[in-house]
Chains A and B, each alone.
Chain A
Amino acid sequence: MSIQVILAQALLGLNVGVFYAMLSLGLAVIFGLLNIINFAHGAMYMLGAFIALIGYSFLEKWLGVSIQIGFWASLVIVPLLVGLLGVLIERFLLRRLYELDHIYGLLLTFGITLILQGLFSNYFNVSGTPYPGQPESLSGVVNLGFMYFPTYRLFAIVVSLIVCFATWFFIEHTKLGSRLRAGVENPDLTQAFGLNVPLMVTLTFAFGAGLAGLAGVLAAPIYSVSPLMGADLIIVVFAVVVIGGMGSIMGAILSGLALGLIEGLTKVFYPPAASTVIFFLMVLVLLFRPAGLFGKEK
């Protein structure tokens, strides 16, 4: 077993890990601040990839005017659009369920997932449509010494890491972040200080959804865009959140990255276990640290 092989698979694992981290981060933010288990998170990721694809390949055909939204524009527009959908979902659907048990929010968001998947399956190829909009400037290959690595994948890793740590910094170390956390801790008291808690909640949900949308755009050039791409990932991402600890921001980021790495390395040492190793770890964590590695016991 050469060190090159291990490094190569580890890097690919990290590539997967950043997507785990971005998605589990969004889930953790939403759960931490809203106490909603957002099953529609995978669908938001899928939606992000699809909006990018539609903007690039289909808009012109559908509208009949010469218009194409490129990759760089998508990186900005798509998270905003998906975030906007998040606002609508929170404002008109989820808000009615806050008084009820978690399970209602989970059921609602699961339903939203099924609707979105069904809609897209109806019009698009289930096995995936390639996204051709990867920018020329990122289409090359970088020689890392131990392997050749596509420039775009490196770019996706770097962008995702920046976004993840910026989010963590924002929530844990800024004034606005501390207000958000206060709103979660004690909504009534925070409101009494003159802060608009319902607005904060709406924006938080939108932010989480936008993060998933951004992950979708970043994933589009690597994987084929398919209606089921979110469903394939969301189960793993839930396991990541459970391992990291529900509601822990740093826990979600670190466990996402670590689990991607572990999955990659499992492919070197015992490939058949690669798809189950995360769930095996989840069982262990639930047995010995039910609140997750970074979570606090309540």
Chain B
Amino acid sequence: MFKHWKQGLVSAVATASLALPLLASAEGLSDDKVKIGVLSDMSGVYKSLEGPGAVVAAKMAIEDFGGEVMGKAIEVISADHQNKPDIGASTAREWIDTKGVDMITALDNSSVGLSVQGLAKDKKIITMNTGAGSTALTEEQCSPYGIHYVYDTHALPVGTATAMVKNGGKKWFFITADYAFGHSLRDNTGDVVKSMGGEVVGNVNAPLSTNDFSSYLLQAQSSGADVIGLANAGQDTVNAIKQANQFRIVQSGQKLAGMLVFITDVHSMGLEIAQGLQFTTAFVWNQNEETKAWSDRFNKIHGAMPTMVQAGVYSAVTNYLKAVKEAGTDETEAVRAKLGEMTLNDMFVKGGKIAPNGSMLHDMYLVEAKKPSESESEWDLLRVISKIPADQAYISMEESKCSLVN
């Protein structure tokens, strides 16, 4: 009995001594600095839409913030997740356990995003996902510390699919990137199409980084669909659209719907091929003077105009640092609470709110690729058709399946 009692005392003392530094760190910054990790696809299909440009954006955010918070340094580290969830998670684990990373951003690729957000939930670290699309991040697998910042597969079809069905595109065939994001985008788009009175007549799954879409495109062509929905992203979308052009699919009367298109994709295809393509985006670089000024600075450093997710990294890092400053600590619970209270206003977002499920609610835009004759400069590629208000674009808290909400 005595022995047990003694053991209990020892362990109580041990626990207390472990807990003390934790309590102490609730005020001020852990490791005397704020460290931000940019985990992105640095070499694969998504390199040009997030990748090294996200690191540039994060560094610009820190520079504009003054390079320090509460008198302490802010650092950025980055790594390539290679679109592999295991590599993403093990890098994130190393960052959190040994490098003292306080917040992880970018996380393009939904499979990687979900695995890192799951890990960060256990480790109590904030993730601000700017790159991935799957709504699972804020729905089925939502996390109290996971924030989904730029777009999701619910917001994308609301603008694009609605507009296309209204214009007579009733029958849809999907070419789907065969992983979490593509499936989620296809299902959400299909729901929008059906709710508008349209119909999904077929689907084919193509592996990520498919070079030759020709046989998938011919299947789509022979399905008799009005619209071929491309539930993929990045180089995959570019390849599919280019090859559709080679096989004269659009000229034969079918429409292409790029469900997730970035300005870099339009730039790489050229307006000759991309003209008329409608899609949904969170950011257009030359929308107003403020976005233009920022984007020109970004372009000078990076050599390309920012995509919505790169601009999103700037905004996410800026608002994270604001929250740290206002909370007076980088302790996760306090910063997350502060982020939830703030109204986000910067060059990227106006009146944005981070919902309890982690979804950053903000307006989206339906845009169209200009005709070559309308374009005034190399990157003058897009025209805004309409604004999609935040409450239409994102899943409302009443409908949310996230366990943190209801």
Instruction: Map CB proximity to B onto A1-42 as digits: 1 under 8 Å, 0 otherwise.
Output: 010110011001001100000000000000000000000000
Contact A4-B214, Cβ < 8 Å, known A125-B43, A148-B247? no
Nearest A residue to B249, CB-CB? A148
A198 at the binding interface (Cβ < 8 Å): no
Q: Which of B37-62 contact A (CB under 8 A)?
A: 43-45, 47
A159 at the binding interface (Cβ < 8 Å): no
B189 at the binding interface (Cβ < 8 Å): no
Contact A271-B219, Cβ < 8 Å, known A147-B247, A223-B211, A224-B239? yes
* Residues A128 and B246 in contact, CB atoms below 8 Å apart: no
Q: Which of B44, B211, B215, B248 contacts A126 (CB 8 A)?
A: B44
* Residues A125 and B212 in contact, CB atoms below 8 Å apart: no
Please name all residues of chain A whose beta carbon is closer than 8 Å to the beta carbon of B252 when the two chains form the complex: 148
Bound-state Cα–Cα, A222 to B212, Å: 8
A149 at the binding interface (Cβ < 8 Å): yes
Q: Distance in Å from the Cβ of A86 to the closest Cβ of chain B?
A: 26
Please name all residues of chain A whose beta carbon is closer than 8 Å to the beta carbon of B218 when the two chains form the complex: 5, 8-9, 12, 147
Please name all residues of chain B whose beta carbon is closer than 8 Å to the beta carbon of A149 when the two chains form the complex: 247
* Residues A148 and B248 in contact, CB atoms below 8 Å apart: yes
Q: Distance in Å from the Cβ of A33 to the closest Cβ of chain B?
A: 32
Secondary structure at chain B's binding surface: helix, strand, loop or mixed? Answer: loop
Please name all residues of chain B whose beta carbon is closer than 8 Å to the beta carbon of A141 when the two chains form the complex: 246-248
Bound-state Cα–Cα, A8 to B235, Å: 25
B204 at the binding interface (Cβ < 8 Å): yes
Please name all residues of chain B whose beta carbon is closer than 8 Å to the beta carbon of A16 when the two chains form the complex: 212
B222 at the binding interface (Cβ < 8 Å): yes
Bound-state Cα–Cα, A121 to B43, Å: 9
B209 at the binding interface (Cβ < 8 Å): yes
Q: Distance in Å from the Cβ of A30 to the closest Cβ of chain B?
A: 26
* Residues B209 and A128 in contact, CB atoms below 8 Å apart: yes
Please name all residues of chain B whose beta carbon is closer than 8 Å to the beta carbon of A229 when the two chains form the complex: 211
Bound-state Cα–Cα, A141 to B246, Å: 7
Bound-state Cα–Cα, A127 to B82, Å: 10
Contact A2-B222, Cβ < 8 Å, known A125-B43, A126-B44, A127-B45? yes
* Residues A150 and B247 in contact, CB atoms below 8 Å apart: yes
Q: How many A-B residue pairs have CB under 8 A?
A: 56
Q: Which of A120-158 contact B (CB under 8 A)?
A: 121, 125-128, 141, 147-150
Bound-state Cα–Cα, A228 to B251, Å: 33
* Residues B235 and A128 in contact, CB atoms below 8 Å apart: yes
Q: Distance in Å from the Cβ of A260 to the closest Cβ of chain B?
A: 11
Bound-state Cα–Cα, A223 to B215, Å: 13
Instruction: Map CB proximity to B onto A215-240 as digits: 1 under 8 Å, 0 otherwise.
Output: 00000001110100100000000000
Instruction: Map CB proximity to A onto B236-252 as digits: 1 under 8 Å, 0 otherwise.
Output: 00010000001110011
A264 at the binding interface (Cβ < 8 Å): yes
Instruction: Map CB proximity to A onto B198-220 as digits: 1 under 8 Å, 0 otherwise.
Output: 00000010000101101100110
Please name all residues of chain B whose beta carbon is closer than 8 Å to the beta carbon of A224 when the two chains form the complex: 211, 235, 239
Please name all residues of chain A whose beta carbon is closer than 8 Å to the beta carbon of B251 when the two chains form the complex: 148
Contact A150-B246, Cβ < 8 Å, known A127-B209, A264-B215? yes
Q: Which of B44, B204, B212, B246 contacts A127 (CB 8 A)?
A: B44
Contact A4-B212, Cβ < 8 Å, known A126-B44, A148-B248? no
Nearest B residue to A232, CB-CB? B211
Please name all residues of chain A whose beta carbon is closer than 8 Å to the beta carbon of B246 when the two chains form the complex: 141, 150
A267 at the binding interface (Cβ < 8 Å): yes
Bound-state Cα–Cα, A8 to B215, Å: 9
Please name all residues of chain A whose beta carbon is closer than 8 Å to the beta carbon of B209 when the two chains form the complex: 127-128
Please name all residues of chain B whose beta carbon is closer than 8 Å to the beta carbon of A147 when the two chains form the complex: 218, 247
Bound-state Cα–Cα, A9 to B248, Å: 15
Bound-state Cα–Cα, A264 to B214, Å: 11
Q: Distance in Å from the Cβ of B393 to the closest Cβ of chain A?
A: 29
Q: Which of A14-73 contact B (CB under 8 A)?
A: 15-16
Bound-state Cα–Cα, A4 to B223, Å: 12
Q: Which of B47, B215, B219, B222 has the most CB of A within 10 A?
A: B215
Bound-state Cα–Cα, A224 to B211, Å: 6
Bound-state Cα–Cα, A15 to B219, Å: 16
* Residues B235 and A267 in contact, CB atoms below 8 Å apart: no
Bound-state Cα–Cα, A226 to B47, Å: 14
* Residues B219 and A125 in contact, CB atoms below 8 Å apart: no
Please name all residues of chain B whose beta carbon is closer than 8 Å to the beta carbon of A264 when the two chains form the complex: 215
Nearest B residue to A148, CB-CB? B248
Please name all residues of chain B whose beta carbon is closer than 8 Å to the beta carbon of A127 when the two chains form the complex: 43-45, 47, 209, 235
Please name all residues of chain B whose beta carbon is closer than 8 Å to the beta carbon of A5 when the two chains form the complex: 218-219, 222
Instruction: Map CB proximity to B onto A82-125 as digits: 1 under 8 Å, 0 otherwise.
Output: 00000000000000000000000000000000000000010001
Q: Which of B222, B235, B239, B248 has the most CB of A within 10 A?
A: B222
Q: Distance in Å from the Cβ of A222 to the closest Cβ of chain B?
A: 7
Bound-state Cα–Cα, A141 to B219, Å: 19
Please name all residues of chain A whose beta carbon is closer than 8 Å to the beta carbon of B248 when the two chains form the complex: 141, 148
Bound-state Cα–Cα, A298 to B204, Å: 45
Instruction: Map CB proximity to A onto B79-120 as digits: 1 under 8 Å, 0 otherwise.
Output: 000000000000000000000000000000000000000000
Please name all residues of chain B whose beta carbon is closer than 8 Å to the beta carbon of A222 when the two chains form the complex: 212
Q: Distance in Å from the Cβ of B49 to the closest Cβ of chain A?
A: 12
Please name all residues of chain A whose beta carbon is closer than 8 Å to the beta carbon of B214 when the two chains form the complex: 12, 15
Q: Distance in Å from the Cβ of B108 to the closest Cβ of chain A?
A: 13
Query: What are 29 contact pairs spanning A and B, CB under 8 A?
Result: A2-B222, A4-B222, A5-B222, A8-B218, A12-B214, A12-B215, A15-B214, A16-B212, A121-B43, A126-B44, A127-B43, A127-B44, A127-B235, A128-B211, A128-B235, A147-B218, A148-B251, A148-B252, A150-B246, A150-B247, A222-B212, A223-B212, A224-B211, A224-B239, A264-B215, A267-B215, A268-B219, A271-B204, A271-B219
Apart from A148-B251, A264-B215, what are 4 other A-B pairs with CB-CB below 8 Å? A127-B209, A141-B247, A141-B248, A147-B218
